[in-house]
């Protein structure tokens, strides 16, 4: 039977929760026309009911008691925008067990326990949607599950963390120091409660695990994703990149071929001609390569109140439509690809190396010899004087495609040599 009024329990009233309340209020008419029901936010769970909030709601709607939402039989759908693993996981489990549908923006939880929760949702005949968990306002999950259902995705390269993209853009365009750029990202509500998960790449790794699971139809865990953050990037690295026609991005790369699957997040030099190089500030983009369609790219704000709330609301509309049609509990993804993770010897890329070396005859020849032994060939090299009093030079090298394993073996040889005084940086180059 079609419902005339759908009641929501909102868990969390911070950046995203505030956006959800604003949009439900201002789009009530559109929501009614699309779904045939009014949508009411019945109760809102918060930690501190006395906190000053940018948006006021009637006092009685706020609660600190989760059972006031989870055990209320009038509430049809839970929107979880609180974040973290616990108690969010227990709340979602309880909601599903009670027959409530769930929409969440929680990538930490979905990357770690998504499979278990999706099974529970299916068993309970409930919907569980999580579009906002990847790339904020970019509707990428629906795109890869529905839009690409007739194709075979072999590669996804994503700028999926707004905070780090904001920081890198500020550092490279305006020379703003790292710490100040991070503070700005926090003030806009882009960063996680603990921003080290943004800066150290974990947030992007969680999103890439979700994307790879859906895009490759396999069960990827966050532990399957290699992960490096942007903490050690210097303004000098960015400047050398610029000189070579590269832009630094924190990029998630998911690829599959006949040897298996690789998924990793790391600071990467993207060639300026690649469409991802033009994605700046809090914007995210996911480049998706489908065997049949070829290259595609999806772009938009990756964080922030209203962009993220649009993704939550679009899931909400889907759930309400499913309720009206009596087809809830059927959105579990299909996993039929065997998860074979590639070894480092099977992962190929071009690499950028910045070395401080002894400035004397034969160093370059020795380096070329070590590289040849690892089957690494050079695409570009240039040298600059470094500390002339110590007779040092700075060498910038870009390799042709080489395996990650051979680069790691080369780096360990360089570390042992007296000719190489310091390995300043080593980045993947994409594009
Ligand atoms: N911010 C963004 O741009 C994006 C965020 N997300 C995800 O959305 C979720 C929410 O993020 P965001 O809105 O930024 O987070 P905030 O920190 O701004 O808000 C969290 C909200 O949850 C409430 N809360 C936290 N812990 C508890 C608890 N134990 N019991 C009851 N209430 C609690 C807080 O209450 P109180 O207000 O009283 O402190 C607050 O209202 C996270 O999973 C995040 O990763 C996804 C995409 C983008
Ligand atoms: N902290 C995240 C928020 C959205 O997922 C980001 O910066 O992208």
pLDDT tens digits, 103-144: 999 999 999 999 999 999 999 999 999 999 999 999 999 999
18 annotated ligand-binding residue: yes
- Say which DSSP state 361 is in: T
Crossing angle of the two packed helices 162-174 and 178-187, in degrees rounded to 10: 130
CA distance 298 to 353: 30
Which atom of ligand 1 is least distant from the CA of 84?
43
Confidence tier at 387 by pLDDT (50, 70, 90)? confident
Write the CB contacts of 267 (distance below 8 Å, at least 6 apart in sequence): 228, 229, 230, 233, 248, 249, 250, 251, 427
Residues linked to residue 128 through DSSP beta bridges, in sequence order: 102
H-helix or E-strand containing 283? strand 283-290
Of 58 and 351, more confident: 351
Cβ of 310 less than 6 Å from ligand 2: no
The CA angle 133-137-143, to the nearest 5 degrees, is 75
Residues linked to residue 260 through DSSP beta bridges, in sequence order: 257
Asked if residue 351 lies in contact with residue 426, where contact means CB atoms within 8 angstroms, the answer is: yes
Please, what's the b/e burial string for 198-215 (b: 16 or more CB within 10 A of its CB; e: otherwise)?
A: bbbbbbbbbbbbbbbbbb
Cβ of 161 less than 6 Å from ligand 2: yes
User: Is 51 part of the annotated catalytic residue set?
Assistant: no
Write the CB contacts of 110 (distance below 8 Å, at least 6 apart in sequence): 104, 117, 130, 133, 206, 210
Check residue 431 and give its pLDDT. Answer: 85
Which atom of ligand 2 is least distant from the CA of 185?
7
Cβ of 302 less than 6 Å from ligand 1: no
Check residue 335 and give its pLDDT. Answer: 86
Check residue 4 and give its pLDDT. Answer: 85
DSSP string, 237-299: HHHHHHHHTEEEEEEEEEEEETTEEEEEEEEEEEETTSGGGG--TTEEEEEEEETTTEEEEEE
Q: What percent of the chain has pLDDT over 90?
A: 91
Task: Ligand 1 pocket test: pick from 47, 65, 129 the residue with the most ligand atoms within 8 Å of its Cβ.
Answer: 47
Report pLDDT digits (tens) over 51-74: 999 998 877 799 999 999 999 999
Asked if residue 299 has pLDDT above 80, the reply is yes
Confidence tier at 1 by pLDDT (50, 70, 90)? low
Task: Give the number of the ligand closest to the Cα of residue 198.
Answer: 2
Q: Which of 242, 208, 240 is nearest to 225 (CA)?
A: 208
Residue 86: count of CB within 10 angstroms of its CB: 8
Report the mean per-residue pLDDT for the chain. 95
The one catalytic residue among 7, 89, 207, 255: 207
CA distance 15 to 7: 21
Asked if residue 235 has pLDDT above 90, the reply is no
188 annotated ligand-binding residue: no
Residue 413: count of CB within 10 angstroms of its CB: 14
Crossing angle of the two packed helices 404-416 and 363-373, in degrees rounded to 10: 140
CA distance 292 to 150: 9
Q: Is the ipTM above a cut-off of 0.85?
A: yes
The pTM assigned to this predicted structure is 0.96
3-state secondary structure of 293: coil
Which atom of ligand 2 is least distant from the CA of 134?
5
Asked if residue 105 lies in contact with residue 128, where contact means CB atoms within 8 angstroms, the answer is: no
Peptide bond into 286 cis (omega under 30): no
Asked if residue 333 has pLDDT above 90, the reply is no
Cβ of 15 less than 6 Å from ligand 1: yes
* Mean pLDDT of all residues in 154-179: 95
Confidence tier at 407 by pLDDT (50, 70, 90)? very high
Confidence tier at 332 by pLDDT (50, 70, 90)? confident
192 annotated ligand-binding residue: yes
Residue 419: count of CB within 10 angstroms of its CB: 15
Asked if residue 349 lies in contact with residue 402, where contact means CB atoms within 8 angstroms, the answer is: yes
Q: Which of 268, 194, 200 is nearest to 229 (CA)?
A: 200
Check residue 334 and give its pLDDT. Answer: 79
Asked if residue 261 lies in contact with residue 339, where contact means CB atoms within 8 angstroms, the answer is: yes
Q: Give Cα 117 to chain centroid, integer Å.
A: 20
Cβ of 45 less than 6 Å from ligand 1: yes
């Amino acid at each position: 039977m079609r419902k005339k009024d759908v009641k929501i329990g909102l868990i969390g009233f911070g950046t995203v929760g505030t956006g959800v309340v604003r949009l439900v209020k201002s789009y009530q008419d559109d929501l009614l026309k699309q779904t045939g029901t009014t949508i009411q936010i019945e109760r809102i769970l918060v930690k501190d009911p006395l906190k000053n909030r940018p948006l006021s709601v009637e006092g009685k709607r706020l609660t600190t008691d989760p059972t006031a939402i989870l055990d209320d039989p009038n509430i049809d759908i839970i929107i979880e925008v609180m974040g973290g693993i616990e108690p969010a996981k227990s709340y979602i489990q309880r909601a599903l067990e009670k027959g409530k549908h769930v929409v969440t923006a929680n990538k930490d939880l979905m990357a770690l326990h998504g499979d278990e929760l999706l099974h529970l949702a299916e068993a309970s005949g409930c919907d569980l949607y999580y579009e906002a968990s990847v790339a904020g306002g970019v509707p990428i999950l629906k795109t890869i599950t529905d839009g690409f259902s007739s194709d075979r995705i072999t590669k996804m390269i994503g700028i999926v963390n707004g905070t780090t993209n904001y920081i890198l853009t500020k550092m490279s365009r305006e020379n703003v120091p790292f710490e100040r750029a991070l503070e700005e990202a926090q003030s806009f509500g882009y960063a996680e409660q603990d921003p080290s998960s943004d800066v150290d790449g974990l947030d992007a790794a969680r999103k890439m695990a979700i994307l790879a699971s859906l895009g490759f139809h396999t069960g990827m865990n966050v532990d399957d994703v290699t992960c490096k953050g942007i903490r050690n990037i210097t303004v000098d690295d960015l400047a050398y990149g610029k000189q070579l026609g590269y832009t630094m991005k924190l990029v998630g790369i998911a690829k599959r071929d006949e040897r298996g699957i690789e998924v990793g997040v790391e600071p990467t030099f993207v060639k300026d001609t690649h469409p991802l190089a033009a994605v700046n500030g809090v914007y995210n983009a996911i480049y998706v390569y489908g065997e049949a369609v070829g290259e595609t790219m999806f772009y938009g704000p990756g964080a922030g109140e209203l962009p993220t709330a649009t993704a939550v609301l679009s899931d909400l509309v889907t759930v309400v439509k499913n309720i009206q049609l009596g087809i809830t509990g059927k959105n579990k993804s299909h996993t039929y690809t065997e998860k074979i993770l590639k070894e480092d010897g099977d992962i190929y890329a071009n690499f950028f190396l910045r070395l401080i070396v002894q400035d004397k005859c034969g160093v370059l020849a020795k380096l070329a010899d070590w590289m040849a032994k690892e089957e690494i060939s050079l695409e570009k090299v240039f040298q600059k004087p470094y500390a002339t009093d110590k007779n040092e030079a700075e060498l910038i090298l870009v390799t042709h495609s080489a395996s990650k394993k051979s680069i790691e073996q080369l780096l360990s040889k360089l570390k042992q040599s007296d000719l190489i005084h310091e390995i300043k940086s080593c980045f993947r180059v994409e594009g």
